[in-house]
């Protein structure tokens, strides 16, 4: 059982998340404000009936208030939304869901006694809005993308396994959620949870990659402010948006690599460049047809207005691969939780630190599904048959006894 002091801290933080004053919560609970103050200080432990009422008023469960490993940290108070999303209940709900998932991520680390250590890119301060030199946001974003590619040793080619790369190097906790249709991604930060990103799983893979890089820009520039990214960011005026859009474009489509690939197409086709070549380049860089075309216009490799003219002629880039007999890029939506998050949940269950019911809660599924997924993780196909893995084994020490 947790101490009264820890319970009081959780009550205080949960109350603040709900934007309730002590007086308002005390009135709803039917006690004096001084009584509630004593509860939050840990001087008076709530009764069972009061705990149930508190959980209802604070939109949490009694289990969340009482269990040993519970994270009640919130995102930074400067979290902001674009004016178009102000007082949008659906967006508010998505933000709260991302916060809850971020807290669960930290809970799993606590269960396994893992202390979150800053990722390499968290130490990068050169592009922070508060400390950066007077550099145009777009130019700063391009410079940041070039720095990232050098730091990650990526050269100027396409980037594969983008999510895994940013989880490792930036410490991003990336969730793929069914966000409102006009929201591409959400980014939030807290010292306890680190950087949490929700990508709209209903969007195409190319759009999601762009959204993820855009939010990486906020991570580097103004992580404490948070971000709700709209589906369309046209002619952004906000310096933070200009920085993030420029970073995404240069990181996914580096100028040197795009120019070289464009020249290769011209050599192969005798100085002829067609919409089919545009589609091929977009697939090569794993970006949308629109992003690739506009990038070539920006680099003055295609005439200005090329994309607009293709739109006027009702060119359908998503129909073209079928006519070209090219297999469209597909992506599985089955995994929406971060891979590391799932591994930690399975390992905690393997070590009997989580019950089957708790495993199901962390995996956001029923107990039967959680059991099946856990068993599936224990089995690995090998040339000699099925290999049963001990997920709790210390691999680093496995060879020391030989």
* Range in 146-155, 181-190, 226-235 with the lowest mean pLDDT: 226-235
- Average pLDDT value for residue range 100-113: 90
Phi, psi of 246, deg, nearest 5: -65, -40
Query: Domain 110-252 falls in which CATH fold?
Result: Arc Repressor Mutant, subunit A (1.10.10)
- Average pLDDT value for residue range 348-368: 91
Phi, psi of 228, deg, nearest 5: -115, 115
Q: What is the pLDDT of residue 211?
A: 96
Residue 80 buriedness (CB in 10 A; 0-12 / 13-18 / 19+) = middle
Q: What is the pLDDT of residue 247?
A: 97
Average model confidence (pLDDT) across the chain: 84
Report the distance separating Cα 98 and Cα 175, nearest Å: 8
C-alpha pair distances (Å), 209 with each of 215, 247, 286? 10, 12, 8
83 or 104, higher pLDDT? 104
45 neighbors 7 (Cβ within 8 angstroms): yes
Q: What is the pLDDT of residue 272?
A: 82
- Average pLDDT value for residue range 170-183: 93
The length of the chain in residues reads 402
Q: Is the pLDDT of residue 382 over 60?
A: no
198 neighbors 83 (Cβ within 8 angstroms): no
Predicted TM-score (pTM) of this structure: 0.76
- Average pLDDT value for residue range 133-162: 91
Q: Which two tokens stand for residue 213?
A: 């890089």
Q: What is the pLDDT of residue 333?
A: 44
Q: Which two tokens stand for residue 378?
A: 């224990």
- 45: Cα within 13 Å, side-chain hemisphere: 11
Rg of the Cα trace of the chain? Answer: 25
What digits encode the pLDDT tens for the residues 195-211?
Answer: 999 999 999 999 999 99
Report the distance separating Cα 364 and Cα 207, nearest Å: 25
- DSSP strands (E only) in 123-243: 173-177, 183-190, 194-200, 227-230
Q: Which two tokens stand for residue 48?
A: 């069972």
Report the distance separating Cα 167 and Cα 273, nearest Å: 37
User: Would you place residue 130 in the very low, low, confident or very high pLDDT band (cuts 50, 70, 90)?
Assistant: confident
What digits encode the pLDDT tens for the residues 274-308?
Answer: 888 899 999 999 999 999 999 999 999 999 999 99
Q: What is the pLDDT of residue 330?
A: 54
Q: What is the pLDDT of residue 47?
A: 86
360 neighbors 367 (Cβ within 8 angstroms): yes
Q: In 75-122, which residue ranges form alpha helices assigned H by DSSP? A: 89-111
Q: Is the pLDDT of residue 383 over 50?
A: no
Longest Cα separation, the chain:
83
Cβ contacts of residue 309 below 8 Å, gap of 6+? none
**1-68, which class in CATH?**
mainly alpha
Cβ contacts of residue 394 below 8 Å, gap of 6+? none
Q: Where are the domains of the chain?
A: 1-68, 110-252, 255-323, 339-398
235 or 353, higher pLDDT? 353
User: Would you place residue 132 in the very low, low, confident or very high pLDDT band (cuts 50, 70, 90)?
Assistant: low
Q: Are strands 194-200 and 173-177 parallel, antiparallel or unpaired?
A: parallel
184 neighbors 80 (Cβ within 8 angstroms): no
Q: Which two tokens stand for residue 24?
A: 């308002």
Phi, psi of 337, deg, nearest 5: -90, 150
* Range in 26-40, 57-71, 83-97 with the lowest mean pLDDT: 57-71
- Average pLDDT value for residue range 264-269: 85
Report the distance separating Cα 171 and Cα 327, nearest Å: 33
Report the distance separating Cα 272 and Cα 27, nearest Å: 75
């Amino acid at each position: 059982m947790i101490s009264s002091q820890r319970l009081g801290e959780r009550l205080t933080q949960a109350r603040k998340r709900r934007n309730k004053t002590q007086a308002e919560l005390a009135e709803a609970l039917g006690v004096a404000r001084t009584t509630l103050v004593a509860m939050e200080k840990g001087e008076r432990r709530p009764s069972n009936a009061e705990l149930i009422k508190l959980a209802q008023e604070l939109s949490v469960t009694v289990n969340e208030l009482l269990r040993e490993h519970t994270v009640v940290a919130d995102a930074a108070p400067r979290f902001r939304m674009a004016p178009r999303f102000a007082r949008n209940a659906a967006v508010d709900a998505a933000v709260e869901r991302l916060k809850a998932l971020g807290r669960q991520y930290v809970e799993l680390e606590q269960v396994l006694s893992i202390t979150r250590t800053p990722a390499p890119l968290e130490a990068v301060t050169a592009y922070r809005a508060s400390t950066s030199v007077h550099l145009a946001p777009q130019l700063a974003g391009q410079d940041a993308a070039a720095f990232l590619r050098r730091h990650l040793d990526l050269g100027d080619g396409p980037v594969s396994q983008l999510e895994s790369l940013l989880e490792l190097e930036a410490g991003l906790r990336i969730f793929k959620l069914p966000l409102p249709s006009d929201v591409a991604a959400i980014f939030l930060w807290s010292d306890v949870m680190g950087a949490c990103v929700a990508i709209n799983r209903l969007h195409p893979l190319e759009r999601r990659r762009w959204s993820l890089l855009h939010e990486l820009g906020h991570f580097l520039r103004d992580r404490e402010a948070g971000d709700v990214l709209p589906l369309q960011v046209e002619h952004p005026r906000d310096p933070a948006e200009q920085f993030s859009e420029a970073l995404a474009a240069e990181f996914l489509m580096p100028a040197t690599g795009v120019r070289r690939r464009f020249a290769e197409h011209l050599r192969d086709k005798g100085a002829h460049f067609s919409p089919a070549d545009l589609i091929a380049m977009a697939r090569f860089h794993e970006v949308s047809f629109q992003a690739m075309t506009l990038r070539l216009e920006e680099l003055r490799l295609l005439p200005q207005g090329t994309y607009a003219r293709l739109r006027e002629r009702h060119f359908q880039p998503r129909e073209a691969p079928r006519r070209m007999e090219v297999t469209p890029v597909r992506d599985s939506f089955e995994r929406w939780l971060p891979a590391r998050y799932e591994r930690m949940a399975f390992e905690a269950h393997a070590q009997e630190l989580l019950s089957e019911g708790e495993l199901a809660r962390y995996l956001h599924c029923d107990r039967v599904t959680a059991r099946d997924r856990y068993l599936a993780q224990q089995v690995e196909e090998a040339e000699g048959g099925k290999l049963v893995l001990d997920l709790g084994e210390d691999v680093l020490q496995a060879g020391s006894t030989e």
